[in-house]
Amino acid sequence: MFGTFHIAAVLIAVIIAAAGAFYAKRLSVSGRIRFLAVCGWVLVIMEVYKQLFLYCVVNGGTYDWWYFPFQLCSVPVYLCILLPFLCRGADGVRSSAAGPVFTFLAVYTFTGAAAALIIPEDYLRSYVTLTLHGFIWHGILLMISLTILLSRMADLSRRGFARATVLFLVMCAAAVCINIAVEPLMAASYAEGLIPHSYAAMFYLNPYHLSPQPLVDIIQKSAGIPLGLALYVISIIAVSGLLCLLFRRLVSAPAASRS
């Protein structure tokens, strides 16, 4: 991390993400929704490649649930694909469920993408394509967030952020359920030496194991796993809330100056 390749890859990802967002900003509302949906389908294709590569090449025909696509940086795939169904018509008329989705993609996805680009330890691998996959993936996530922010498609008010946070917490609960459900499967495969990981870590919220996230594992060793996970979730909400406040001020600044 923080070598020449890492820094160069982040800069390229940020530049391309910004360029894509500025391009999408000029589209109509329905055009931007289609653009976001296309981003989602591109991520689907990338994820299929990653899953097949891990299954066939890395793990020799055994599935490692550690890589199941349900992380903070994976759920935007599903949300982007759903957008055309949540926003119908030429003017992109939204259903009531679209608001939290846009705000989640603008704020929480930005948090996850930025953190992963700054600390890409999880996808700096000996396999070149997997490493490139990680940088391209999070660059696209950044583009999705910037597109929504620059186009002012997200509700960045306190109520809007609160609704997006409820969506985030629902996803956290689903992640915990997945981690618990696949624990026996992971334990058996790991015991036989078939996979490198011994547990699933959707959203890094496994209630049975210490978190691989920095500082979180230290808290868990002294205060227990549940409290460490709770503080981890709260920290994500806090950082995302600060970003939402910053974005709200930046987005509203041009309108204020015109008035």
State the Cα–Cα distance between residues 193 and 195, nearest whole angstrom: 6
List the Cα angle 37/164/87 in 5-degree steps: 35
Q: Could you please report the per-residue DSSP string of the chain?
A: --SHHHHHHHHHHHHHHHHHHHHHHTS-HHHHHHHHHHHHHHHHHHHHHHHHHIIIIISTT---GGG-S-STTTHHHHHHHHHHHHEETTTTEEPTTHHHHHHIIIIIHHHHHHHHHHS-GGG--SSHHHHHHHHHHHHHHHHHHHHHHHTT-S--SHHHHHHHHHHHHHHHHHHHHHHHHTHHHHHHHHHTT-SS-SS--GGG--TTS--SSTTHHHHHHHH-HHHHHHHHHHHHHHHHHHHHHHHHHHHHHHHHHH-
The pLDDT of residue 95: 65
Report pLDDT digits (tens) over 178-212: 999 999 989 888 988 889 999 999 999 999 999 98
The arithmetic mean of pLDDT across residues 14-43, rounded, is: 96
Report d(CA 115, CA 216) in Å as an integer.
15
Q: What is the Cα–Cα distance from 47 to 70, expressed in whole angstroms? A: 11
Nearest of 156, 186, 117, 134 to residue 248 by alpha carbon: 156
**pLDDT above 90 as % of the chain:** 79
pTM of the model: 0.92
pLDDT, position 49 = 97
Q: Please tell me which residue, 229 or 188, carries the higher pLDDT value.
A: 229
Least-confidence region, from 35-39, 116-120, 122-126, 156-160: 122-126
Determine the Cα–Cα distance for residues 251 and 3; give it in Å rounded to an integer. 33
The pLDDT of residue 94 is: 63
Is 136 a residue whose pLDDT tops 70? yes
The band of 89, judged by pLDDT with boundaries at 50, 70 and 90, is low
Residue-level pLDDT at 255: 46
pLDDT confidence band for 258 (50 / 70 / 90): very low
pLDDT of residue 50: 96
Task: Average the pLDDT over each of 92-96, 111-115, 133-137, 223-227 and give the range with the smallest value.
Answer: 92-96
Please give the biggest Cα pair distance in the chain. Answer: 67
Q: Is the pLDDT of residue 259 over 70?
A: no
* Lookup: tokens for 90: 């030429």
Tens-place pLDDT, residues 234-244: 999 999 999 99
